[in-house]
Structure 1
Amino acid sequence: MPETTATPHYHVEDAVLSRYQAGAQEHEPSLCCPTDYQDVHYLDVIPEEILTKDYGCGDPTRYAKLGDVVLDLGSGAGKNCYMVAQKVGPTGQVIGVDFNDVMLNLARKYQGAIAKKIGFQNTEFVKGKIQDLKLPLAPLQAWLQKNPINTIEDVARYEAEGDRLRAESPLIADESIDLVISNCVLNLVKPSDKRQLFQEIHRVLKKGGRAVISDIVCDEPPSEKILNDPELWSGCIAGAFLEAEFLQMFEAAGFYGVEILSYAPEPWQTIDGIEFRSMTVRAYKGKEGICLERNQAVIYKGPWQQIQDDDGHTYCRGERMAVCDKTFQLLTSPDGPYAGQFIPVPPYQEIPLEAAPEFNCQAKARRSPQVTKGEDYHLTQLNGDTACCTPESCC
C-alpha cells in the first residue's frame, strides 16, 4: 500500500488541538470546504453558534437510518450529531467522540434545548481519541489528577490504568455501532496511528454495519514542504490520503463493498500542483466467518462482462456462479452494497447450516443447474391451459 506521509518534524496532535480550540472560539473558514446537505431542514433546530463553529467537507449524515446507533468520529461542535439524531429518531442513539474539551463543551451546551425542540434526547458526547476508541479519557484524566506523573514508575502506573480502563470500561464497546460517520477528521490523525484508526472503526461496528466517511484526499503525495507545515496539518491538507490509498485503508482493515459515494469535481485547494478535494466513501463490515457449501449460486446481471470482488472471486455476466453461504448473503442482501446487481439462485432442497460442509472457495467457479435442483430432479411439467400464448393473445 502506498504511503502518503513522512514523519513530521513536530507534534501533529498539538497543532491540531490548538487550531481547533481556536476554531471553537471564533469561526475559521479555512478549516472547511463548501458542503451541500441533502436534508437541510435538520439544521433548523441547531443554534447558530454550532453551525458557524463546526467544520467539515461532506455530508455523511444522509446515510443514517431510523433506529441506528451512530458514532461520529471527531464530532466537534456537534452539528452532524444533531442532524443524525433527528434521522435515527427516539429509538436510535448518537455518540460523538472528540478530543477537544472546548468543542465538547460547545456541543453539550445545547443538548437540552435541542432535545426539547425535537421531542427526545438521544445524543451523548464523550472525550476520546478516535484511533483508540477503547480508552475513556474522562476517567483517565480524573485518575491523573489524583496521581500526577513525576517518575518513570508513575508513567508505568498511568499506562496500566489506561489498559485497565480499556478492558473494564471501554469507551466504545466491540460490535455496538450500526453506522460510523466522520466529516473531515481522519486526515488529522498522525500517520503512525492511521492503520489502528481504521481497525478501531471496524472493531466497533456490528456485523452488517457500515462506515461513511467524508475526508480530504489528494491526487499526488504531499511534498516535504507540505508535510512539515503545522498549519497545513491542522488545515486538513498535510494529512490527506492519496485517493486510492483512502479506499485501500478500509480494505486492509477487513471492510468490503468499499465505494466512492461522492468525489468533488473541483479541488478544494491546490498547493505546489497537488490537488486536494473532498471524497465520501462507504464501506461495510461482515465478511468474516467460514465458507459453507449450501449449493447456492448467483447470476451477475451486468453490464460488465465480468467483475471481481474484494476476495478475488470472479462473476461472469449471465452465468450461474458457485458461492458459499456467506458470500450468497452478502451479494443478495437488499441492505448491502451489491443490492440489485445479482440474481439469487437458492437450492431447491435447503441444506441446514449445521449440516453444511466447508465450501471449496475458488476464484471462478460455475455452478451446474443440476447441483441447485438436485441430482434426482427429473420433473416434467407442461403448462397446458396455462400456456402464455393462446389464440387470443398477441404473441
Structure 2
Amino acid sequence: MSYLETTHNVYKEAALTPDVGLCCTTNPVWELPGLKIPKIMQEMNYGCGSTVHARDLTNNPKMLYVGVGGGMELLQLAYFNRQKEGVIGVDVVDEMLEASRKNFIEAEKLNPWFKKEFVTLKKGNALNLPVPDNSIDVAAQNCLFNIFKSEDLKKAIAEMYRVLKPHGRLVMSDPTCEQPMNDALRNDDRLRALCLSGSLPIAEYVKMLTDAGFGTIEIRARKPYRVLAPKHYATDKLIYIESIEVAAIKDPMPEDGPCIFTGKTAIYFGDNPFVDDKKGHILLQNQPLAICEKTAAALASLNRDDIFISESTYHYDGGGCC
C-alpha cells in the first residue's frame, strides 16, 4: 500500500466517524457577524491553523480549497463571497465530499445568508486539479501539503500555481520541523497521514514555493504544534513540531530573487528621513517598516548605526517594503 493510499484510508475513516483533533491542533473558530459554524464542522476541522484571512478575500474573489475536511473553511470563505459557485472545494475522498455536502445542509439552517450552491464540490486530486489555468484568485490548503513526499509536493504546488490568476495567492497552513527526523519516522505512512512525519524545515518549505515561481512569500504565523517523544515514537530524542501559516503570491519573480517576509522590521532613528536610492525604500524616524529578507540584508550591509533591524518574528500582516 502506498503512502497516499494510507492517507486516503485515514481520511475515509475520519469522514465516516468524525475524530476531533485527529491529526492537528484545535483552532479557535472565527467569530464573524452572522456566521454560525455547525458543531459537526468543528468536530471535522482537520487543519493545523487557518487559511481564512479577511484581507485576502476582498472584491468577491474566486476561491479554491483543496482537501475539504468537514467544510468549515469552505463555509468561512463563502461568507466573504456569497455568490453561486464562488468557492470550489476539491477532495479525492468520496466520503469526505459526501460528509461536507451533508454539513452544508446544516450550515444553511444556521445561516440565513448561506446557500449550499455557493460552494461547488469536485472529486479531484491535488496533483491534478480539475480547475482551469489562471482561473482562481485565492487558493488554500490546510494541513495537506505536508503529507506529500518531495516529488508529489512539487506537483501539488505547481498545480496551485497553474490555476491561480496573476497576483493570485495560495494561502496555507502546515506543520514544520527544524530538527532532522530519522528514516523510521519519515517512512511511517500513518504518521505522515496524521500530519507529523512529513513536516519540513521552514527554509525548505519556502524554497519549494519559490522554485515553483511564486515571487512573494509571507510567513504570517508560527505556532507550537506537537512533540514526538521517545517513549511514544521511534526516536531517541524529543522532536518539536510547529505549524506555520503562509501566503505565496503569484507575483513575477524579481531579478534579484523572491521577496520573503519573515516578520523582520527596520526602525530608523537618525535625524532626517532615510531614502534608499537604489530600491526606493523610505524610512521615517522611529516608524517601523516591515521588510523582506532581501531588504534586511541590503540595509544591514550599509553598516549604519542609526538603523535597527529586528530578528524574524515569523509573523507578518502586510504593509511591507515591497
Under a length normalisation based on structure 1, what TM-score does the superposition of the two structures give? 0.61
Is the 8 Å Cα contact of residues 26 and 53 (structure 1) preserved in structure 2? no
Give 1:40 shift. 5.3
Structure 1's 200 and 309: CA in aligned 2 closer, same or farther, altered over 3 A? farther
Equivalent residue for 2:13, pick from 17, 22, 25: 22
Q: Distance in 2 between matches of 1:42 and 1:187?
A: 33
Deviations 1:262-285 (A, max 9, x none): 000x34223432211211011110
Equivalent in the alignment of 1:129: 125
The reply to whether residue 56 of structure 1 matches residue 47 of structure 2 is yes
Deviations 1:142-193 (A, max 9, x none): xxxxxxxxxxxxxxxxxxxxxxxxxxxxx10101001111111111223321
Q: Distance in 1 between matches of 2:318 and 2:106?
A: 41
- Helix, strand or coil: the match of 1:60? coil
Q: Distance in 2 between matches of 1:38 and 1:269?
A: 26
Deviations 1:195-231 (A, max 9, x none): 1111111111100111110011111232111122232
Q: Distance in 1 between matches of 2:254 and 2:68?
A: 32
Is the 8 Å Cα contact of residues 85 and 92 (structure 1) preserved in structure 2? no
Structure 1's 89 and 226: CA in aligned 2 closer, same or farther, altered over 3 A? same
Equivalent in the alignment of 1:385: none
The reply to whether residue 11 of structure 1 matches residue 6 of structure 2 is no
Give 1:249 shift. 1.0
The reply to whether residue 78 of structure 1 matches residue 36 of structure 2 is no
Within 5 A, what are the aligned runs for 1:67-106? 67-90=60-83, 93-106=86-99
Structure exhibiting the larger radius of gyration computed from Cα positions = 1
Equivalent residue for 1:194, pick from 153, 157, 164: 153
Equivalent in the alignment of 2:310: none
Structure 1's 42 and 219: CA in aligned 2 closer, same or farther, altered over 3 A? farther
- Helix, strand or coil: the match of 1:278? strand
Equivalent in the alignment of 1:285: 250
Is the 8 Å Cα contact of residues 292 and 321 (structure 2) preserved in structure 1? no
- Helix, strand or coil: the match of 2:280? strand
Is the 8 Å Cα contact of residues 85 and 120 (structure 2) preserved in structure 1? no
Q: Distance in 1 between matches of 2:175 and 2:184?
A: 18
Count of residue pairs brought into register by the alignment: 270
Structure 1's 215 and 308: CA in aligned 2 closer, same or farther, altered over 3 A? closer
Structure 1's 59 and 225: CA in aligned 2 closer, same or farther, altered over 3 A? same
| Gaps in structure 2 of 5+ consecutive residues | 230-234, 256-276, 303-316
- Helix, strand or coil: the match of 2:53? helix
Equivalent residue for 2:217, pick from 252, 258, 264: 258
Structure 1's 15 and 131: CA in aligned 2 closer, same or farther, altered over 3 A? same
Equivalent in the alignment of 1:268: 226
Is the 8 Å Cα contact of residues 37 and 59 (structure 1) preserved in structure 2? no
Structure 1's 184 and 338: CA in aligned 2 closer, same or farther, altered over 3 A? closer
Give 1:14 shift. 1.1
Deviations 1:359-392 (A, max 9, x none): xxxxxxxxxxxxxxxxxxxxxxxxxxxxxxxxxx
Structure 1's 77 and 299: CA in aligned 2 closer, same or farther, altered over 3 A? same
Q: Distance in 2 between matches of 1:37 and 1:192?
A: 33
Structure 1's 244 and 43: CA in aligned 2 closer, same or farther, altered over 3 A? farther
Q: Distance in 2 between matches of 1:249 and 1:16?
A: 22
Deviations 1:275-322 (A, max 9, x none): 1121101111020699xxxxx985212468x96649xx957999xxxx
Structure 1's 58 and 308: CA in aligned 2 closer, same or farther, altered over 3 A? closer
| Gaps in structure 1 of 5+ consecutive residues | 1-9, 134-170, 291-295, 319-336, 343-395
Q: Distance in 1 between matches of 2:9 and 2:34?
A: 30
Deviations 1:55-87 (A, max 9, x none): 111011124414011111111221110111012
- Large movers: runs of 4+ above 3 Å: 37-43, 110-116, 306-310, 313-318, 337-340
Equivalent in the alignment of 1:118: 113
Equivalent in the alignment of 2:263: none
Letter in 1 for 2:113: I
Q: Distance in 2 between matches of 1:261 and 1:297?
A: 28
Equivalent in the alignment of 2:305: none
Give 1:112 shift. 4.7
Equivalent in the alignment of 1:36: 28
RMSD: 3.2
Q: Which has the higher helix share?
A: 1
Letter in 1 for 2:93: N
- What is the percent sequence identity of the aligned residues? 26
Under a length normalisation based on structure 2, what TM-score does the superposition of the two structures give? 0.74
Q: Distance in 2 between matches of 1:57 and 1:267?
A: 8
